[in-house]
A and B are shown apart, each in its own frame.
Chain A
Amino acid sequence: MLILQDLAKTYRTRAGEVKALDGVSLRIDQGEFIAVCGPSGSGKTTLLMMIAAMLRPSRGTVQFEDRDLYQMTGAARAKFRARNIGFVFQMFHLVPYLNVLENVLLAGAVARSGDGRARAEESLQRLGLGHRIGHRPSELSAGEKQRTAIARALLNRPKLILADEPTGNLDSQNAEGVLRHLQSFQRDGGTIIMATHGLAAQGFATRTIDLREGRLA
């Protein structure tokens, strides 16, 4: 489903060039739950952003099904992303002035994937947030915030979920809950690529990839 070929990213900074990623080739099939591990600075986030069609590689290609992501126009890429990829971030990234339900529905505006509201509510129920629908993010616990983010990622029924240290700000109990929800998405046929430091998280993965200084170890 995903073919990464010789992916490289070099950031140019005032202090000089930083090779964040340096020749990563990878094949990922539908239904996989991939854990991308590696020390801080090894290029995990960079890799995820490239797969997300948000960061143009300095070299190499990303093929999603049969499409080369970086051959598309920016607008097409944005639309493609909205329809096919869900995101979960370490920092949750919920919009502070919208309530839980509205935050989830935010993902539906661009994809226009039918009756979002019913699906959002149902999804929130399943994630144990049925009683929090009208709450603002500031009124939620960290675990609830991350589950809201998962509901948002699931709204458009994406093929792929990209999770960047989704459990980084959670205690072990909440972390496990979040991972279970991700796992159930995978069991329904979805694909997950998750950057993580945690060993517990790696336990849910079907495959673990190790990054060291921008290369596969």
Chain B
Amino acid sequence: MLIIRMIFKEIWHRKVNFLLAVLAATTAVAFLVAFFTASKASERETARLMLSMGYNLHVIAKDADVGVFLMTGLADKTMPEAYVGKLAAQNSISYNHLLATLERKMKWRGVEVILTGLAPEVCPPGQQKQAMTFRVEPGTAYVGHHIAEVLAVQKGDTVDVNGKALRVERCLAEAGGLDDMRIQCSLRDAQEILGLPGRITQIKAVDCLCFEKGDPVTTLRKEIGSILPETQVLQVKSLANARAKQRQMIRNVFAVMLPFVIMACGVWIGVLAIMNVRDRRPEIGLLRALGYDTVQVMLLFLGKALLVGLFGAAAGFLLGTELGLRFGPRVFEITAQAMLRPESSLFVLACILAPLFAMAASLVPTVIAVTYDPATTLREE
């Protein structure tokens, strides 16, 4: 008689025991799947929000006048360009997309413009992301919409800015803001034009939207302040921060509950396995009397646990995905449905982990089963 056939026949014979065990595995898997489906969606939503938010962190020199900065968007004091390298060198920090700029108001061909030098965007180690702004090559310029219109600048022109010749790479589309008044060039060129070698006025960055409690700007000030004491930090507040905070909290509650739920399900499966083993003491004794060895008896119980895990994985994946899709949109209001989708990789993972989990939970009862002395069990009843 094949062990596998025996396992299936026994399951059929004691359906309730099996179904209860599968229910436990289903609960554990569903919880995990719902959690990870929601977490993935949360990550995607955060990423999208970060992009749409633009640079919302501004690091300026400590002696810069905040009032002027708030009124004009320009810092009136400079700081060393090396600062951006220092920030970018940090591990595990709460900001990304570092952009060093040197901005100054100046008169050009009789018009007030903002000369803006841009360094290539840099990211901290291990957080490489696609840059959020264009990269300006030395010797070229991007001219804002209003300036281009008023002064009839065209793409391909070579313009003279305070003695420095720049080729116009592009005239930018209308932005409806300060950007329409900018001439953007590489940081080097701007430093040369303004006579401020090695200086910048501002580092722009994007915060990670990963703060759970407290005011993000306090945390960021502490973080950046410890690296660059000669600076001050301003954060553009937005609804995104509040939403992100709420999401983090929900995630945290889940994360705290997760081990308990998993443990409870493990105990549940273990208890059912113990009951099953007790019911089957005479059967185990008989098999031993018939010459079955411990490995074969263990296979009988571990094989059943494996099936509990497999069925639980399938049912749990369906249930967890359904829960995630149904209740997720309430949590992820902005990206909602578009970002929530079944994570098929979780199914594979569940099919591997759930059987291992069920077998681990059944291990103690299984060991108990094989240690039964057949001489004792066979005389019972």
Contacts and interface: CB of A to CB of B under 8 A. Distances in A.
Interface stretch (A27-35, A106-114, A173-181, A186-194): A106-114
Interface in B329-381: 374-375, 378-379, 381
Given A102-B1, A110-B292, A93 B374 contact: no
A45 B379 contact: yes
B30 to A, nearest CB: 29
Interface in A124-150: none
B291 interface: yes
B1 A110 contact: no
B9 interface: yes
A93 B378 contact: yes
Nearest to B290: A107
A181 to B, nearest CB: 19
Interface string B287-303: 11111110000000000
Given A54-B374, A97-B12, A98-B6, A106 B291 contact: no
9 contacts: A54-B288, A54-B378, A81-B291, A89-B378, A95-B283, A96-B13, A106-B290, A107-B290, A110-B292
Interface string B12-31: 11100000000000000000
Contact of B292 (A89, A97, A109): A109
Contact of B13 (A49, A97, A109): A97
A198 B2 CA distance: 38
A108 B283 CA distance: 16
A111 B375 contact: no
A55 interface: yes
Interface string A45-70: 10001001011000000000000000
B6 A111 contact: no
Contact of B381 (A81, A91, A108, A109): A91
Contacts of A93: 282-283, 285-286, 378
Contact of A49 (B286, B291, B293, B375): B375
Interface of A: 45, 49, 52, 54-55, 75, 78-79, 81-83, 87, 89, 91, 93, 95-98, 102, 105-111
Contact of A78 (B14, B293, B381): B293
Contacts of B10: 97
A106 B288 CA distance: 11
B233 to A, nearest CB: 70
Contacts of B381: 91
B288 A78 contact: yes
Interface residues of B, number: 24
Contacts of A109: 1-2, 290, 292
Contacts of A55: 375
Interface string B100-125: 00000000000000000000000000
A79 B9 contact: no
Q: Which 6 pairs, one residue from A and one from B, show the smallest C-beta to C-beta distance?
A: A82-B291, A97-B13, A110-B291, A55-B375, A49-B375, A78-B291
Given A91-B381, A95-B283, A110 B290 contact: yes
A108 B290 CA distance: 9
Contacts of B293: 75, 78, 110
B87 to A, nearest CB: 68
A55 B13 CA distance: 31
Contacts of A95: 6, 283, 286
B296 to A, nearest CB: 8
Nearest to A104: B1
The interface centre, meaning the residue of A49, A95, A111 with most chain B CB atoms within 10 A of its CB, is: A95
A97 B9 contact: yes
B290 A82 contact: yes
Nearest to B6: A98
Contacts of A107: 290
Contacts of A87: 289-290
Nearest to A82: B291
Contacts of B374: 54
Contacts of B9: 97-98, 102
Contacts of A110: 290-293
B325 to A, nearest CB: 39
